[in-house]
Structure 1
Amino acid sequence: MTTPLLSLTWTDHVTGRRGFLVVDRLVRGVASGGLRMRPGCTLEEVTGLARGMTMKEALHYDPAARYVPLGGAKGGIDCDPRDPEAYGLLVRYLRAMRPYVESLWTTGEDLGLSQDLVDRAAAEAGLVSSIQAVYPLLDDATAARRRLADAFAVEVDGIGLDELAGGCGVAESVLAALDRAGVPYAGTRVAVQGLGTMGGATARFLTRAGLTVVAVADIKGTILNPAGLDVEALLAARDSYGTVDRSVLRPADRELPGEAWLSSDAEVLVPAAVSYAIDTGNQARIRARWIVEAANMPVLPAAEVMLAARGVTVLPDVVVNSGTNAWWWWTLFGDIGADADEAFAHIRRSMRALVEQMLGRAEADGTSPRAAAHAVVADRLPVIAERFGWYR
């Protein structure tokens, strides 16, 4: 891994908690990457995530599009978002990082933080917007901001378009892999870890495509039903952290310990919650054929090697969950409008092309999908740099 352009560790003067900002690369002077809050967040974690953002941006480079990929960055705060001190800590972090948010780092929701919360804290910290650094790159910043605000106001069956975009991309990644393998959707079973923004939307899109979600895990444990869970009922019973109210469970739904989702009888596992969820120990329990990384860095590298030896294919986060970030920029730059059907069609088309390119490259090179994705990035970064210059 290359050395990042900028790496900062900040210590809060009130609580003593730490926050981090890593800028891996700039393109046209700007980098993109969300802000996460979780207990135990480290600089090493944020550094890896920032590098992943550089890759996600490069993977969506289209020289004919209005959206020009940015560099990669990431922010992180070591705190439980449920802590009573969390919001004040978030405001102070953004106040400390204000020069970077104003000039070069565009950020938004990530693990533990909703976009509404980030927006409210950013305003309190004196920022115009969490993405204001990109405004100078827009042809018409006022129209672009209005278009993005309109898109965030769109709801589909009671859930915001912004909360569905990423899950649409994850689901399309699953469907593309199934199609390539000649596996029908009907009868294909899925287990999802995390029913927050990404996991919940993924479960909804996969269910509507004809797959069966048999297990869902949240902070309270795993909910299992081999015949299929009522995904819509579970989504409606979530709190703001993705925890399901167990009172909505049906008689055939079983409550099991937290890691039971790993060993569920499913062809597809979707880790959509925390990083490092699958390690060298618990990977042995997995019976699925595919692991689709909706979360960032959920499978440890050593575990991925062991899974590959057992014939389990990991579709990597840098491709699978890149739809959220791309949707923001497609909308802001004007490649798509504030319309759900247009957004979903664009996400599906782009993600399917990317997954098929990755899997085709992996097959041709005799490598893993992750190695293939890295190879595509290695091809594209110099092209982007030649067009816009190197900022390292």
Structure 2
Amino acid sequence: MTAPLLSLTWTDHVTGRRGFLVVDRLVRGVSSGGLRMRPGCTLDEVTGLARGMTMKEALHYDPQSRYVPLGGAKGGIDCDPRDPEAYGLLVRYLRAMRPYIETMWTTGEDLGLTQDLVDRAAAEAGLVSSVQAVYPLLDDEATARKRLADAFAVEVDGIGLDELVGGCGVAESVLAALDRAGEPYTGTRVAVQGLGTMGGATARFLTRAGLTVVAVADVKGTITNPAGLDIEALLAARDAYGTVDRSVLRPGDRELPRDAWLSADAEVLVPAAVSYAVDTANQQRIGARWIIEAANMPVLPAAEQLLARRGVTVLPDVVVNSGTNAWWWWTLFGDIGPDAEEAFARTRRSMRALIDLVLARAETDGTTPRAAAHAVVADRLPLIEERFGWYR
């Protein structure tokens, strides 16, 4: 595995907390990857996420599309986003990273941060936009920026389109896997870890497709109901961090420990919160048939090997949660307009094609879906390099 193009550690002069930036690869001089904030964030974590972004970009490469594939990057800050010092730290981090954001790194919301917060802090840090590095690649910058702003203003049933597209992609990954296995949607039970942006939208789309969400976990614990949870009520009762107000629970809902989602009586598990949630010890508790990685790096590699031996299929994050990133660029470059149905249709079509491609490749090669995704990326990166050049 080659080293990333750029790797740096920043220390805040006010709090002493650390932040990180890793640019894995540039395409046409630009990279893409969100900024996360969580206590315990490390350079190694951000490095792995940046490599994953390179893969996500390559997986969505379509030579007929206006969307220019970018390189992969990631930012991280070691701080609890609930800390009173978090916002000031975010502004100082963005101010320190300004030369990179202006020239080579496009970023946005990730774990612990919302896009609204990133935008507000970026403006305070003196930036035009958190994605301004891509503007020179646009045919008509003003029109493109308005199109993206209009898309971010779209709401569907009270939730912003930018929050929904990622969950739409995760849900479509689940449905594609079920279809390929010949399993009906009705009667398929799902447990979701995390009811934030990605997990909440995923739960909504799966419920509306006919699946039954029997467990959701947040920082307070796991809420379960074998007959199915009222997902819309839980979504309406979330705070900004995805924590559910327990006063909305129904008589049949039960509260269990936070890690109880792992052993939920369900066919599908969707880890949609933190990285490294499934390890070699707790994987033994999992009885589900599929794990759909909505979060980044939620299953440790050694745990995935053990799960594979037990017949548990892990659909990898680099495929499953790539829809949000792709939607940003489809919209900005003009492949789609600021319309919810158009966004959902493009997301579903693209994600289903990717899942089918990866699972077919896994069957042909006799490997895991993750290894198959890596093989697809290995096929596509040379095509991108041949067309746009290779910046390392």
User: What are the residue-to-residue correspondences of 1:42-191 with 2, within 5 Å?
Assistant: 42-191=42-191
Equivalent-residue separation in structure 1 for 2:297 and 2:341 (angstroms): 30
In structure 2, the partner of 1:19 is 19
Equivalent-residue separation in structure 2 for 1:196 and 1:337 (angstroms): 26
User: SS of the residue aligned with 2:77?
Assistant: strand
In structure 1, the partner of 2:263 is 263
* Alpha-carbon displacement from aligned partner over 1:98-132 (angstroms, at most 9, x marks no partner): 00000000000000000000000000000000000
Q: Compute the RMSD of aligned alpha carbons.
A: 0.3
Equivalent-residue separation in structure 1 for 2:353 and 2:82 (angstroms): 39
Shift of 1:347: 0.2
Equivalent-residue separation in structure 1 for 2:219 and 2:71 (angstroms): 33
| Letter paired with 1:188 | T
| Letter paired with 1:63 | P
| Letter paired with 1:321 | N
Equivalent-residue separation in structure 2 for 1:33 and 1:341 (angstroms): 25
User: SS of the residue aligned with 1:92?
Assistant: helix
Shift of 1:2: 1.7
Shift of 1:167: 0.2
Equivalent-residue separation in structure 2 for 1:249 and 1:142 (angstroms): 46
In structure 2, the partner of 1:248 is 248
User: SS of the residue aligned with 1:372?
Assistant: helix
User: SS of the residue aligned with 1:222?
Assistant: strand
Equivalent-residue separation in structure 1 for 2:14 and 2:157 (angstroms): 42
Shift of 1:326: 0.1
* Alpha-carbon displacement from aligned partner over 1:49-83 (angstroms, at most 9, x marks no partner): 00000000000000000001100000000000000
Shift of 1:383: 0.5
User: What are the residue-to-residue correspondences of 1:283-294 with 2, within 5 Å?
Assistant: 283-294=283-294
Shift of 1:149: 0.3
User: What are the residue-to-residue correspondences of 1:211-290 with 2, within 5 Å?
Assistant: 211-290=211-290
Gaps of 5+ in 2: none
TM-score using structure 1 length: 1.00
In structure 1, the partner of 2:312 is 312
User: What are the residue-to-residue correspondences of 1:363-382 with 2, within 5 Å?
Assistant: 363-382=363-382
| Letter paired with 2:271 | P
Equivalent-residue separation in structure 1 for 2:321 and 2:59 (angstroms): 12
Equivalent-residue separation in structure 2 for 1:294 and 1:141 (angstroms): 32
Count, aligned residues: 392
Equivalent-residue separation in structure 2 for 1:208 and 1:58 (angstroms): 30
Equivalent-residue separation in structure 1 for 2:99 and 2:348 (angstroms): 36
Matched, 1:335 2:335: yes
Matched, 1:357 2:338: no
Equivalent-residue separation in structure 1 for 2:276 and 2:310 (angstroms): 19
Equivalent-residue separation in structure 2 for 1:198 and 1:20 (angstroms): 23
Equivalent-residue separation in structure 1 for 2:258 and 2:281 (angstroms): 15
TM-score using structure 2 length: 1.00
Equivalent-residue separation in structure 1 for 2:8 and 2:20 (angstroms): 6
User: SS of the residue aligned with 2:186?
Assistant: coil
Gaps of 5+ in 1: none
Equivalent-residue separation in structure 2 for 1:262 and 1:52 (angstroms): 24
Equivalent-residue separation in structure 2 for 1:57 and 1:322 (angstroms): 8
In structure 1, the partner of 2:10 is 10
User: SS of the residue aligned with 2:262?
Assistant: helix
Give the 4+ runs in structure 1 shifted more than 3 A. none
User: SS of the residue aligned with 1:216?
Assistant: strand
User: SS of the residue aligned with 1:279?
Assistant: coil
| Letter paired with 1:386 | E
Shift of 1:22: 0.0
Equivalent-residue separation in structure 2 for 1:17 and 1:123 (angstroms): 22
* Alpha-carbon displacement from aligned partner over 1:274-308 (angstroms, at most 9, x marks no partner): 00000000000000000000000000000000000
In structure 2, the partner of 1:302 is 302
| Letter paired with 1:149 | A
Shift of 1:363: 0.2
Shift of 1:143: 0.2
* Alpha-carbon displacement from aligned partner over 1:297-356 (angstroms, at most 9, x marks no partner): 000000000000000000000000000000000000000000000000000000000000
Equivalent-residue separation in structure 1 for 2:135 and 2:75 (angstroms): 20
Equivalent-residue separation in structure 1 for 2:259 and 2:241 (angstroms): 18
